[in-house]
Amino acid sequence: MSTAALLQALRAELGAAQVLSEGDLSAYEMDWRRRYPGRALAVVRPGSTAEVASVMRQCAAHGVALVPQGGNTGLVGGGVPDASGRQILLSLQRLNKVRAIDAANLTMTVEAGCVLQAVQQAAAAQGLLFPLSLAAEGSCTIGGNLATNAGGTAVLRYGNARDLCLGLEVVTAQGEVLQGLSGLRKDNTGYDLRHLFIGSEGTLGVITAATLKLYPQPAARMTALAACDTLEAAVALLGLAQARAGSGLTGFELMNRFSLDLVRRHFAQLRQPLPPCPWTVLLEVSDTESEAHARGVFEGLLESALERGLIDDAAIAETLEQSHAMWHLRESIPLAQAEEGLNIKHDIALPISLIPQFVARTDAALQAAIPGIRMVDFGHLGDGNLHYNVQAPEGFDAAAFLREHEPAVNRIVFDAVQAHGGSISAEHGIGQLKREELAERKDPVALALMRSIKQALDPQGLLNPGRLI
Ligand code: FAD
Ligand code: ZN
């Protein structure tokens, strides 16, 4: 059967306006980092679960592969078609309804294409909190968040996307609908299939809706920036903050000097409350009692950190605007980096206790290999998750730097990650970017089991081929 017949069938089913094969489709075909320009056979935009299932059945009947896509903010090239022009790009963006909010059960059920920020706002409108939060929240979707098991800035307290999901509705590779929406916190009736699809990056099924966990909104939130001389001090500050604030510690982000220098350079309008220092930590404490109570905890914590010599300086946000401005600084780092030019990204997880040693040794090895490289080192220290990114030496052509040095840089970093018992992907996933690295470094038994799961669920290999495994 020809691809023309497939497109004709899809147009008959969804309407011609939702099956795009001409004009500028780069918003769907090019990834956010502009590293993987693809070309789709067509961009298909179903408006309901039944339509997703029907598209899947048509693709299966014609043996055509399909790439699911939400907000296209993924950083590993997993959500764009390859360059062959033979894959269908399945956009979930029109599945964007909040189906239900159950305040007493602290759950909400939303469709996969709901933008994360819209989900947060729908929860807030009921006085509740959906805690998943990341810099791309204005455009990434819940489906994409679950498919990549996204992390972000609230993992420390509330867990990652996996921990916030109680149930899923999924269209299988055969075009059947798995009805797994459930607001149950306990359900031991066999294999928990939801966890197979979460983090599977669109390779096992298409997520069409999810039931999510909600939390009460905290009464108050306080934010501060603190200056540390060493990474050892930042790790000790984390221990102190956990001891003092307990589960009230809802954010602990790390930024090295160069990452904030990049923000100074490219977003000069953003005020930086602290002078440049080797390591800046952003702390957030949430409190269920009151603002006064939160302030008491926070001031006690920072005073104690000053006394112990863990920090040299700190700035507490006095208003909500100042708090947003502090978070905005942190969230501007990926954009400032992109402005500076292409770079080699490493989204890695390590035991927190080993992070100072890892950074000291790996920085030194990288500088020895390529003198003058610049380290953009920031991330979610509270989760042991660093964005350990390598920018070309000042004045170097970024594209040429990547061409010449990316394999060697990756080897140095990932060897060190492995030697320290870490993971080569903490929260962004594998996609195309790290597929070979995964094949080389993952436990062979785990890889074999992953392949048999893929074979069992998608024997024709239609779902996001060439990604992840
Ligand atoms: P897409 O990019 O569209 O897709 C991502 C993957 O999921 C692809 O493999 C795709 O095939 C698959 N997929 C998408 N929707 C579905 C679906 N409905 N069913 C099945 N598979 C699907 N990530 C973090 O974890 N933490 C961060 O702090 C973070 N910060 C970021 C900051 C910026 C500025 C940017 C650009 C990205 C950041 N990311 C972060 C990465 C990205 O935003 C997240 O991975 C996000 O969860 C992707 O959602 P999306 O809807 O854009 O997915
Ligand atoms: Zn991150």
Q: Which ligand is nearest to the CA of 115?
A: 1
C-beta of 77 in contact with ligand 1 (< 6 A): no
Is 105 a residue whose pLDDT tops 80?
A: yes
Same domain, 307 and 258: yes
Q: Is the CB of 379 under 6 A from ligand 1?
A: no
The answer, yes or no, to whether any atom of ligand 1 lies below 6 A from the CB of 157, is no
The ligand that comes nearest to the alpha carbon of residue 463 is 1
Q: Could you tell me the two tokens for 310?
A: 């863990």
Residue 392 carries which DSSP code? P
CATH number of the domain residue 363 falls in: 3.30.70.2740
- Say how many residues make up the chain: 469
Name the residue with the closest Cα to ligand 1, atom 14. Answer: 144
| CA atoms of 336 and 339, how far apart (whole Å) | 5
Instruction: Count structural domains, the chain.
Output: 4
Model confidence, pTM: 0.94
Partners of 385 in beta bridges: 349, 380
CA-to-CA distance for 445 and 189, rounded, in angstroms? 26
Nearest-CA residue for ligand 1 atom 18 is 143
Do 377 and 259 meet the contact criterion of CB atoms below 8 Å apart? yes
Q: How far is the CA of 151 from the centre of ligand 2 (A)?
A: 7
**Does the C-beta of 334 come closer than 6 Å to ligand 1?**
yes
Tell me, using a 6 A CB cutoff, whether residue 152 lines ligand 1. yes
Q: Do residues 7 and 46 share a domain?
A: yes
Residue 134 within a domain: yes
Whole-angstrom distance, CA of residue 121 vs CA of residue 30: 29
Q: How far apart are CA 248 and CA 294, in angstroms?
A: 9
- First-to-last C-alpha distance (Å) of the chain: 28
Q: Rounded CA gap, 137 and 273, in Å?
A: 25
Reported confidence tier of residue 260, pLDDT bands at 50, 70, 90: very high
- Residue in the structure block whose two tokens are 């001389």: 229
Residue type (1 letter), 105: N
pLDDT digits (tens, 9 = 90+) for 161-202: 999 999 999 999 999 999 999 999 999 999 999 999 999 999
141 lines ligand 1 (CB under 6 A): yes
Please, what sign has the CA dihedral across residues 397, 403, 408, 411?
positive
- CA pseudo-torsion sign 407, 410, 416, 419: negative
Residue bearing the CA closest to ligand 1, atom 10: 79
Closest to 370 measured CA to CA, from 414, 411, 333, 415: 411
- Residue 441 in any domain: the answer is no
Strands across the sheet containing 19-20: 19-20, 40-44, 87-91, 66-69
CA distance 320 to 107: 27
Residue 111 included in any domain: yes
Burial 278-303 (b: 16+ CB within 10 A, else e): ebbbbbbbbbeeeeeebbebbeebbe
CA distance 141 to 129: 17
What digits encode the pLDDT tens for the residues 332-381? 999 999 999 989 999 999 999 999 999 999 999 999 999 999 999 999 99
- Position 244 pLDDT exceeds 80: yes
Average pLDDT (251-266) is 97
Same domain? 318 vs 363: no
In a domain, 366, yes or no: yes
Strands 215-216 and 128-129: antiparallel
Percentage of the chain beyond pLDDT 70 is 100
Residue 2 has pLDDT above 90, yes or no: no
Q: Tell me which residue range forms the domain holding 86.
A: 3-91
Q: Is the CB of 92 under 6 A from ligand 1?
A: yes
User: Could you report the per-residue pLDDT of 429-458, keeping only the tens digit for each?
Assistant: 999 999 999 999 999 999 999 999 999 999
CA angle, corner 352, sides to 349 and 355, nearest 5? 80
Q: 276 and 366: one domain?
A: no
Ligand 1 neighbour 91 (Cβ under 6 A): no
Query: Which pLDDT does position 1 carry in this prediction?
Result: 59
Listed in sequence order, the residues at least 6 apart from 298 whose beta carbon sits closer than 8 Å to its beta carbon are: 222, 224, 245, 283, 285, 316
Distance 219 CA to ligand 2 centre (A): 26
Quick check: 33 pLDDT over 90?
Answer: no
Residue whose entry in the numeric block shows the structure tokens 């998608």:
458
| Each residue's pLDDT tens digit, 110-136 | 999 999 999 999 999 999 999 999 989
318 shares its domain with 378: no
The answer on 136 and 46 residing in a single domain is no
Q: Is residue 458 part of a domain?
A: no
Query: In this structure, which ligand is nearest to the CA of 333?
Result: 1
Q: Are residues 172 and 231 in the same domain?
A: no
Quick check: is 464 in a domain?
no
For residue 183, how far is the Cα from the chain centroid?
24
| Shortest-distance atom of ligand 1 to CA 153 | 28
Q: How far is the CA of 142 from the centre of ligand 1 (A)?
A: 9
Mean pLDDT of 381-410: 94
Neighbours of 258 (CB within 10 A): 19
Q: Does residue 449 form part of some domain?
A: no
Report the distance separating Cα 340 and Cα 321, nearest Å: 27
Tell me which of 58, 91, 124 is where a domain ends: 91
Tally of CB atoms within 10 A around 419: 12
Give, using CA atoms, the residue closest to atom 49 of ligand 1.
Answer: 144
Same structural domain for residues 107 and 208? yes
Question: Same domain, yes or no, for 212 and 226?
Answer: no
pLDDT at 414: 97
3-state secondary structure 438-450: HHHHCCHHHHHHH
For ligand 1, whether the C-beta of 180 sits within 6 Å is no
| 324 and 376 part of one domain | no
